[in-house]
Amino acid sequence: MDLKSHSLPLVNIYAVTVVGHDRPGIVADVTGALATHGGNIEDSSMTLLRGYFAWTLVVALDTDIATIESTLAPLEQTHLKIAVVELTQEVGGSQTATHWLSVHGSDRPGIVSAVTAVVAGVGGNITDLTTRLAGTLYVVLADVFLPPGVDVESLTQQLLDVAAELGVDVSLRVADNDDVL
């Protein structure tokens, strides 16, 4: 049997980011362009940030980066910025959140940096992060993966200490993984 004639096509994995002025049809336009090359969206996250469209996709495609970029280039004419990065396929599975972190308080620079540094300091990984500014209230919501053996009580105290310095409230609670994608 000739293995070359029966081999599967080589599939490349790309991260595609799309940012710009929001308008109807952006998702349809981007996915339509990717579909012309058989693109399969494996993961994505999209939101509106202060009226701006922001989307990151992980896409499997059987084509090269230059072809993808040229296919998506006409969409940049509609006030979008699009970037394509080839990813390696060696990345393991995603981590499921073990805890939920929330921070609420008056807005000021450095809140996200200070709180996430405490989590990183114990080997924790932020797996999802949302921030919102509503008037003067700043809200941070994060899904956190903590490796086995982390002293959660000590971590919680460290977070409370940093929160007190920042003048915000913080909570860390065990995630109910039935509610997490």
The string of pLDDT tens digits covering residues 126-180 is 999 999 999 999 999 999 999 999 999 999 999 999 999 999 999 999 998 665 4
**In this model, does residue 31 exceed pLDDT 90?**
yes
Which residue ranges does the chain devote to CATH 3.30.70.260?
3-87, 99-174
Q: What is the DSSP string of 80-133?
A: EEEEEEEE-S---PPPPP-EEEEEEEE--TTHHHHHHHHHHHTT-EEEEEEEEE
Share of the chain above pLDDT 70, in %: 89
Confidence of residue 93 (pLDDT cuts 50, 70, 90): low
The yes/no answer on whether domain 99-174 falls in CATH 3.90.1150.10 is no
Is it true that domain 3-87 has CATH number 2.40.128.110? no
When pLDDT is cut at 50, 70 and 90, the band that residue 11 belongs to is: confident
